[in-house]
């Protein structure tokens, strides 16, 4: 009988691993509540970071927050539909340089740490966002 119990326990464990691996990044980040927490943390940092003052001083946080959540939800394979402009169009004329872009990324990493997001998940999100750098950094 004990062999049977061991086999059942092994199968239950083995079958649960692929289910976790099949989760989308959206789910691994905590779905919409987790992404909202990351965005709230990030926006707090962006709006108070002296390196980013010129970028965020004329932006309405209440307007930006749901759009930022929808964007992150979309790029992490969540159910949200991002209806905002493409990154190049949204950042055209803002003259964002590499230092300011790096500050945004650093603050996003801090925000994910504050939200308790594991480092591996942080890297997965950053890997999805990284190709957009060429559309955002224009100087």
Domain annotation covers residue 6: no
Domain annotation covers residue 96: yes
Domain annotation covers residue 2: no
Domain annotation covers residue 36: yes
The domain that holds 100 is classified in CATH as 1.10.490.10
Task: With cut-offs at 50, 70 and 90, classify the pLDDT of residue 20.
Answer: low
User: Do residues 76 and 26 make contact, with C-beta atoms less than 8 angstroms apart?
Assistant: yes
Q: How many domains does the chain have?
A: 1
Per-position DSSP letters for 85-114, written without gaps between them = --HHHHHTTS-B-HHHHHHHHHHHHHHHHH
Domain annotation covers residue 16: no
The boundaries of the domain holding residue 81 are 24-136
Domain annotation covers residue 56: yes
**Where is pLDDT greater, at 138 or 36?**
36
Domain annotation covers residue 127: yes
Q: What is the pLDDT of residues 25-35, one digit of tens each?
A: 999 999 999 99
Quote the pLDDT of residue 111: 98
Q: What is the pTM of this model?
A: 0.82
Domain annotation covers residue 58: yes
Output b/e per residue, 95-134; b: 16+ Cβ within 10 A.
ebeeebbebbeebbbebbeebebeeebbeebeeebeebee
Point out the least confidently predicted range of 13-27, 61-75, 95-109, 116-130. 13-27
Longest dimension (CA), the chain: 72
Reduce the DSSP state of residue 137 to 3 states and report it. strand
Q: What is the pLDDT of residues 67-116, one digit of tens each?
A: 999 999 999 999 999 999 999 999 998 889 999 999 999 999 999 999 99
Number of alpha carbons in the 13 Å side-chain half-sphere of residue 124: 16
Residue 2 pLDDT exceeds 50: no
Quote the pLDDT of residue 54: 86
Cα 109 from Cα 125, distance rounded (Å): 10
């Amino acid at each position: 009988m004990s062999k049977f119990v061991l086999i059942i326990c092994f199968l239950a464990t083995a079958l649960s691993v692929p289910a976790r691996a099949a989760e989308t990044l959206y789910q691994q980040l905590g779905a919409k509540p987790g992404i909202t927490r990351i965005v709230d943390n990030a926006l707090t940092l962006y709006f108070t970071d002296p390196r980013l003052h010129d970028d965020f001083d004329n932006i309405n946080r209440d307007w930006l927050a749901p759009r930022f959540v929808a964007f992150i939800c979309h790029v992490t394979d969540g159910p949200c539909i991002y209806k905002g402009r493409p990154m190049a169009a949204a950042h055209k004329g803002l003259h964002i340089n590499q230092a300011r872009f790096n500050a945004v990324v650093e603050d996003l990493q801090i925000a994910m740490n504050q939200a308790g997001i594991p480092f591996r998940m942080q890297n997965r999100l950053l890997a999805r966002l990284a190709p957009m750098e060429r559309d955002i950094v224009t100087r």
